[in-house]
């Protein structure tokens, strides 16, 4: 059997893609849900936004880990032995940087104390996450 014939089974391909898309829905979609809920949460009391953020972190960080792991799995499964174009490699490099920025932004968002810093890092995390999602769609093309 030649290297070109080595592929994952359709079942594993489906599982890999399902887990990646599910994790992206939780990580990226959850950020938008939190953005939509923050105003209402503030009306419920000073501690409500923090409680929501802690609850979301219990879902979002495992989803982020699944995104990273399935991202490497996707890379190994779809592009073995470096069979890519220069354009694909450029977009993949940008996506990789955006994923790092999204994770770092979200991590800092949860650790800073000033409202301005929280807003800035939250915006960076959300924007980087959204752009990483777009890059993923372009790579799947």
How many domains is the chain partitioned into structurally? Answer: 1
> Does any domain span residue 2?
no
> Does any domain span residue 3?
no
Q: How far is 114 from 89, CA to CA, in rounded Å? A: 38
pLDDT at 11: 87
Walk along the chain (141 residues) and give the pLDDT tens digit of each residue.
455 565 556 888 889 999 999 999 999 999 999 999 999 999 999 999 999 999 999 999 999 999 999 999 988 887 766 677 889 889 999 999 999 999 999 999 999 999 999 999 999 999 999 999 999 999 887
The domain in which residue 78 lies consists of: 8-140
pLDDT at 20: 96
Distance of alpha carbon 14 from the chain centroid:
19
> Does any domain span residue 132?
yes
Q: How far is 141 from 138, CA to CA, in rounded Å? A: 5
> Does any domain span residue 33?
yes
> Does any domain span residue 44?
yes
> Does any domain span residue 110?
yes
The structure tokens listed for 47 are 């501690």
């Amino acid at each position: 059997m030649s290297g070109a014939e080595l592929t994952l089974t359709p079942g594993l391909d489906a599982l890999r893609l399902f887990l990646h898309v599910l994790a992206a829905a939780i990580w990226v979609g959850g950020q938008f849900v939190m953005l939509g809920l923050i105003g209402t949460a503030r009306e419920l009391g000073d501690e409500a936004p923090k409680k929501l953020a802690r609850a979301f972190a219990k879902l979002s960080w495992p989803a982020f880990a699944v995104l990273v792991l399935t991202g490497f799995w996707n890379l190994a499964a779809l592009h073995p032995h470096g069979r890519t174009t220069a354009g694909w490699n450029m977009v993949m490099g940008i996506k990789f940087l955006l994923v790092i920025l999204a994770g770092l932004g979200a991590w800092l968002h949860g650790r800073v104390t000033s409202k301005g810093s929280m807003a800035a890092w939250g915006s960076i995390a959300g924007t980087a996450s959204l752009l990483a999602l777009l890059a993923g769609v372009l790579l799947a093309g």
